[in-house]
Amino acid sequence: MELDQVMLLGSVVLLVSIVAARLGTRFGLPSLLIFLGLGVFVGQFVLPFNDAAVAHSLGFAALVIILGEGGFTTKWSEIKGALPGAVLLATVGVGVSVVVVATFAHFVLGLDPVMAVLLGAITSPTDAAAVFSVLRKVPLPAKLRATIEAESGFNDAPIVLLVATATLWSLGTGAEGGPVWMVVLILLELAGGVLLGVALGWLGVWALRRIALPSSGLYPLAAMGWVVLAYGLGSVAHVSGFAAVYVTAVVLGNGKLPHRHATRSFAEGIGWIAQIGLFVMLGMLAEPRRITWAAVLAGLAAGVVLTFLARPLSVFLCLSWFKVPWREQLFVSWAGLRGAVPIIMATVPLAAGAPGAEALFDMVFAFVVVFTLLQAPTLPWVARRLQVSSGEDATDVEIEFAPLDTISADMMQVHVPEGSRLHGVTIRELRLPKNSVVSLIVRNGEPFPVGADRIVRVGDDLLIVTNGDDRKRVEGRLRSIHRGGRLGHWMER
């Protein structure tokens, strides 16, 4: 196809995907399955596509963007308490799932040992794109949400190495060292990626807070470019690039960057583009006429074992150490969504020409479609039935700031969400530092002046000008009142 035809087709697919996502939300269908179905249609009737190597490369690039978006929107205050359990799920938990599924695939489905390990490795990781897009629509306790999201951010790293090694085994070329060395290598690469992400994230925050860029639109570009740099440096250093990406984005997202709301919005927008492109491309790669009932049934059988045996077992073994209630453990088990990651991992042996790779891809494709359709729409219902969500949890107060270089001050934009205890508080009761002032309130799109007795309402946007030194105190007071009411900030130390 000519370039102009590609651009025409790409824009049409993007717009159709956006409309389809809106309709899918209305009818309770996961957006990722709609994109996948659209890709199947395009691949069968518009533009045939069967290059697994290109799909593998583009899929990894899309995952970098998606992981970066997830990291930017992750709050450190929520994730730090859940991090040990999430890391254990992403390593030990994944290993348990691989062993259980591989054992079933070998002794019940009759796959040879290497292909059985490949099937277990490919299907075990949860998918960041599915988790970030579906789970954030479900009101959950912060620590529970953080556990599931952090797991999806970290578990790609060990799986990439395991799938690559198993693919070499299937080709008969072997790999240096045995299983013990492979486990050690996985842990070393994961640890190296985390350390690289922390260092790059800290350096990025330091640089972006001190360099005055000529346009506010350059800050989101610089932040996302820094995240992609983390993946490249991770690959060069032979550590986990995916872990480096996620950690770098978490550090940047929590680093009080200028125009951070714009950065999060940009990351969310480009994340949506990556998700749409990823699932459409993987749908184009699928070949429905090639998929046999034997492959479908094998994939569904493996999915049943993974969903109802391997996943709950791995969650129990990992989270029981942290005294996580059994209801939350059950929800974490059901919320282990599989989406693009298993399909992308299935392209590794497919691109390498491994024997049986096409049948393996078909099994994984059928498994992802059916179990995503089963799990994703039922998550809100399951959360309510397990009493891990009341359905009324308030989102956190949104605070954005931009530097005012000429007066060495910051202008903060504060959005008051549903459920916030800022509702009903007067400006006087905020008791902001003397060098900080609420200059304007925007309500229902209409701005108006502010007096000391003006009452804050849900949905308001407050514009606050503050001395740079007092910004942290102002933000701390607003968040404490948001959670604890008008006297909440008196509890601050």
The whole-angstrom distance between residue 102's C-alpha and the CA centroid of its chain comes to: 26
Q: How far is residue 346's CA from residue 352's CA, in Å, rounded to a whole number? A: 10
What phi and psi, each to the nearest 5 degrees, are found at residue 464? -120, 125
pLDDT at position 391 over 60: no
Q: Contact, 368 vs 338, CB < 8 A?
A: yes
Neighbours of 73 (CB within 10 A): 17
* Interval 277-306 mean pLDDT: 91
Neighbours of 97 (CB within 10 A): 27
What residues contact 444, with CB distance under 8 A and at least 6 apart? Answer: 459
- Residue 108's pLDDT band (cuts 50, 70, 90): very high
Please state, for a pLDDT cut of 90, what percent of the chain lies above it.
26
* Interval 300-316 mean pLDDT: 95
Q: Contact, 12 vs 116, CB < 8 A?
A: no
Tokens in use for 268?
Answer: 């969310």
Q: Contact, 237 vs 194, CB < 8 A?
A: no
pLDDT at position 148 over 50: yes
pLDDT at position 402 over 80: no
Helix 94-107 / helix 156-170 crossing angle, nearest 10 deg: 30
Q: Contact, 448 vs 460, CB < 8 A?
A: no
Please state, for a pLDDT cut of 70, what percent of the chain lies above it.
92
Find residue 467's DSSP bridge partners. Answer: 409
Kindly state the helix (H) or strand (E) to which residue 415 belongs, with its residue range. strand 409-415
pLDDT at position 20 over 90: no
461-467/409-415 β-pairing: antiparallel
Global confidence as pTM: 0.76
Helix, strand, coil shares of the chain, percent, nearest 5, are: 70, 5, 25
Tokens in use for 312?
Answer: 């709950």
Q: How far is residue 112's CA from residue 106's CA, in Å, rounded to a whole number? A: 6
- Residue 330's pLDDT band (cuts 50, 70, 90): very high
266-282 tens-digit pLDDT:
888 898 898 889 889 99
What residues contact 142, with CB distance under 8 A and at least 6 apart? Answer: 75, 77, 78
Q: How far is residue 348's CA from residue 379's CA, in Å, rounded to a whole number? A: 30
Q: What is the largest CA-CA distance in the chain?
A: 77
344-377 tens-digit pLDDT:
999 999 988 888 899 999 999 999 999 988 888 8
Q: How far is residue 156's CA from residue 67's CA, in Å, rounded to a whole number? A: 10
Q: What is the DSSP letter of 401?
A: E
Neighbours of 2 (CB within 10 A): 7
pLDDT of residue 493: 40
Q: Average pLDDT of the chain?
A: 84
Alpha helices by DSSP H, listed for 142-217, are 142-154, 156-170, 179-210
pLDDT at position 215 over 80: no
Q: Is 259 exposed, middle or buried (0-12, 13-18, 19+ CB in 10 A)?
A: buried
Q: How far is residue 280's CA from residue 249's CA, in Å, rounded to a whole number? A: 25
Q: How far is residue 105's CA from residue 310's CA, in Å, rounded to a whole number? A: 13
Q: Is 436 exposed, middle or buried (0-12, 13-18, 19+ CB in 10 A)?
A: buried
